[in-house]
C-alpha cells in the first residue's frame, strides 16, 4: 500500500502536501469521496496530475467513483512520513522562531519541538511552552542526547552555516532553513530552504517584467 517507489519528483511530493490539506478540509466538510478533478481544483493542480502523483505510490481510488476522502488522507499521511513523531530542534528564538513555534499545525502533523536554542543571553533560560531555551554554544553538548532528527534554522544569515554544521554533527538528518543563505551539508542530510527574499524578488520580477502576471509558484 505505502510503496517504496523509485524516483519520485520532488515537485510531486510537494503537491502531496497540498492534496493532504485539501483532503483535511473535505473531511471536515463531511465529503466522503472526491474525484481527481475535484481534488485538483481544491489544491491548485490538474486532474491528470493528481492521478499521476498518486500513481507513484500505488492505487488508492475506485474507478467510476473516485477516492475515499478519509482513506486517501490516511495514505498520504503515511506516505509523507507523518505517522512518525519527528523530534525537532528550533535553533533561533527570534521573531521567526516565535512565529514557527506558535504554528498550530506543527504538533498536529507529528512535529514536536523538543529543544530550543538562542544566543541572546536575555532569552536563554526562559521557557517557551515548557521548553527551556538553551545557549547555542551548548548545542554540541546537549543536542545529541535529545536524539533530534530535524532542525529548524531561524537564525541570522551569518550564523546559519555554523549552526547547520553543529546540528549535523549532533546527528540531525534534516534541516529546514529560514536564513537567506545557501546551506552546505554533507551527503545524507536533507535541506529545505524557505527564502522569503527569493519569493519577493521573483514576484517583483513578474510584476516588473510583464503587464500580465499570472500564477507563479
Partner DNA sequence: CAATGTGAACTTCTTCACAGCG
Partner DNA sequence: CGCTGTGAAGAAGTTCACATTG
Stretch that binds a second copy, among 46-54, 115-123, 159-167, 192-200 (CB under 8 A): 192-200
The interface with DNA within residues 47-106 (CB under 7 A) comprises: 47-49, 51-52, 54-55, 59-67
Provide the minimum distance between the beta carbon of 177 and DNA in the complex, in angstroms, as a whole number.
19
Cα dihedral: 168, 172, 178, 184 (round 10): 30
Partner from DNA, a second copy, none binding residue 7, C-beta < 5-8 Å depending on class? DNA
Cβ proximity to DNA, 12 vs 135, nearer residue: 12
3-state secondary structure the chain: CCCCCCCCCHHHHHHHHHHHHHHHHHHHCCCCEECHHHHHHHHCCCHHHHHHHHHCCCCCEECCCEEEHHHHHHHHHHHCCCCCCEEEEEECCCHHHHHHHCCCHHHHCCEEEEEEEECCCCCCCCEECCEEEEEHHHHHHHCHHHCCCEEEECCCHHHHHHHHHHHHHCCCCEEEECCCCCCCCCCCCEEEECCHHHHHHHHHHHHHHCCCCCCCC
The answer to the question of residue 217 lying near a second copy (CB under 8 A) is yes
Partner from a second copy, DNA, none binding residue 125, C-beta < 5-8 Å depending on class? none
The answer to the question of residue 184 lying near a second copy (CB under 8 A) is yes
Stretch that binds a second copy, among 62-70, 114-122, 138-146, 171-179 (CB under 8 A): 171-179
Among 1, 5, 25, 46, binds DNA (CB under 7 A): 46
Provide the minimum distance between the beta carbon of 149 and a second copy in the complex, in angstroms, as a whole number.
7
Provide the minimum distance between the beta carbon of 59 and DNA in the complex, in angstroms, as a whole number.
3
Site string for a second copy, 121-160 (x = CB under 8 A): ----------------------------xx----------
Provide the minimum distance between the beta carbon of 180 and a second copy in the complex, in angstroms, as a whole number.
6
The answer to the question of residue 14 lying near a second copy (CB under 8 A) is yes
The bridge status of strand 131-135 relative to strand 127-128 is: antiparallel
Amino acid at each position: 500500500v505505502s510503496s517504496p517507489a523509485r524516483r519520485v519528483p520532488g515537485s510531486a511530493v510537494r503537491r502531496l502536501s497540498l492534496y493532504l490539506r485539501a483532503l483535511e478540509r473535505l473531511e471536515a466538510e463531511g465529503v466522503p469521496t472526491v474525484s481527481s478533478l475535484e481534488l485538483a481544483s481544491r489544491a491548485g493542480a490538474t486532474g491528470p496530475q493528481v492521478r499521476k502523483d498518486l500513481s507513484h505510490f500505488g492505487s488508492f481510488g475506485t474507478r467510476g467513483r473516485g477516492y475515499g476522502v478519509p482513506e486517501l488522507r490516511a495514505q498520504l499521511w503515511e506516505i509523507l512520513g507523518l505517522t512518525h513523531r519527528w523530534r525537532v530542534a528550533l535553533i533561533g528564538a527570534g521573531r521567526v522562531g516565535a512565529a514557527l513555534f506558535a504554528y498550530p499545525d506543527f504538533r498536529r502533523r507529528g512535529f514536536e519541538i523538543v529543544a530550543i536554542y538562542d544566543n541572546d543571553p536575555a532569552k536563554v533560560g526562559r521557557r517557551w511552552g515548557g521548553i527551556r531555551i538553551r545557549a547555542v554554544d551548548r548545542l554540541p553538548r546537549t543536542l545529541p542526547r535529545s536524539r533530534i532528527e530535524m532542525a529548524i534554522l531561524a537564525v541570522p544569515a551569518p550564523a546559519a552555516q555554523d549552526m547547520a554544521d553543529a546540528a549535523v554533527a549532533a546527528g540531525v538528518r534534516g534541516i529546514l532553513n529560514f536564513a537567506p543563505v545557501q546551506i552546505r551539508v554533507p551527503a545524507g542530510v536533507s535541506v529545505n530552504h524557505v527564502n522569503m527574499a527569493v519569493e519577493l524578488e521573483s514576484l517583483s520580477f513578474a510584476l516588473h517584467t510583464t503587464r500580465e502576471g499570472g500564477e507563479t509558484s
